[in-house]
Amino acid sequence: MAPCDHLRGLPEGACAAAVSDYQTARIALGARLRELRAESGLNGKSLAVRLGWPASKVSKIETGKQSPTGEDLKAWAAALGVPETVSELMGRLRSLETHYAAWRRQLAAGVRARQEAWQATESASATVWNFESAVIPGLLQTPEYARHMFIRTTTLHRTVQDIEAGVNARMQRQQALYAPGRSFHFLVWEPALHMLLCPREVMAGQLDRLAGVHGMSTVSLGVVPFGAELTVVPTHGFWIFDEQLVMVETIGAELRLTDTAEIELYRTVWRELQDVAVFGREAHRLIARARASLNLM
């Protein structure tokens, strides 16, 4: 995949700036790997033999033409007899991947482009897990609720305000919920059911939509209650795609995590939250309670 494939829809100059920054970080990682190899006294061909790789792969990684995976870095360090460098190398890789994703958020060409990028990721995944601590999951939002979320986001980041195009794109994303062979698992922290990020009437409609999710064959929805005794701190929402990718949206960046250890960390958090969540009738009762608290006439 070419670097700009992640940045479709951006102005040409913005894409070039993001790719340049990403490539600089990738070259720096390759230089560090080349340094370790040189210190060991091996040439590229000898290292490739030890690793069982084509010599071209070693060359491409060292020159920044190919990104190594986490497993590549571990194998590299083991082959050179420097396992103590794994932590450093993995940190460099995470920084590279995270920085690239952060540019995507900072340079996003409007709401529609972001929704289409999410849809591309979702469409390649058979199983999706999503936890939200403060908002209703995007794939379960009504158009009215989504509209208010986009207004707040674009206002905060002073980005392109193509609100209606973004709403339409989000609704298009939701078609995935009805596709056979897919499975979506949602957990919502109860405060999200009470968070008034939109008018009360809009929130009422959103909660009605959540109540109607029960019974969908491709969807499971759980609520983590206010009074649940938590073993983890749910500081932010996150998505897990086929246990191959974790996506996290912070205030300033969109993070894409692919390291096996980090993915397992988020899977652990998911399991801990799932253990204290309520489903079915109990979840429906909490949604109904939130709906009643709106005190609409």
pLDDT tens string 52-87: 999 999 999 999 888 899 999 999 999 999 999 999
Q: What pLDDT is recorded for position 1?
A: 43
Structure tokens at 175: 């078609």
Buried b (16+ CB within 10 A) or exposed e, 201-223: ebbbbbbebbeebeeeeebbbbb
The more confident residue out of 42 and 17 is 42
Q: What is residue 100's predicted lDDT score, i.e. its pLDDT?
A: 57
**CATH number for the 111-292 domain, one of 3.40.1000, 3.30.870, 3.30.70, 3.40.50?**
3.30.870
Answer whether 286's CB lies under 8 Å from 278's CB: yes
φ, ψ for residue 218, nearest 5 deg? -95, -5
Q: Are 140 and 207 in contact (CB under 8 A)?
A: no
Residue 139 has pLDDT above 90, yes or no: yes
Neighbours of 285 (CB within 10 A): 12
Q: Are 44 and 58 in contact (CB under 8 A)?
A: yes
Encoded tokens for 123: 């469409």
233-236 contacts at long range (C-beta below 8 A, 24 or more positions apart): 234/131, 234/133, 234/189, 234/269, 234/273, 235/133, 236/133
| Amino acid at site 209 | R
The residue that leads in pLDDT, 106 or 127, is 127
Using H for helix, E for strand and C for coil, what is the string for 85-122?
Answer: HHHHHHHHHHHHHHHHHHHHHHCCCCHHHHHHHHHHHH
Q: Is the pLDDT of residue 42 over 90?
A: yes
Which three-class secondary structure state does DSSP give residue 263?
helix
Vertex 28, ends 24 and 31: CA angle to 5°?
135
Domain coordinates of the chain in residue numbers?
A: 8-105, 111-292
158: pLDDT strictly greater than 90: no
Please compute the mean of the pLDDT values over residues 206-228 and round it to a whole number: 94
Q: Which two tokens stand for residue 106?
A: 């900072």
How much is the pLDDT for 118?
A: 81
The CATH class, in words, for 8-105 is mainly alpha
- The neighbour count for residue 196, using CB atoms within 10 Å, is 10
The mean of the pLDDT values for the chain is: 86
**What is the pLDDT, as a whole number, of residue 259?**
76
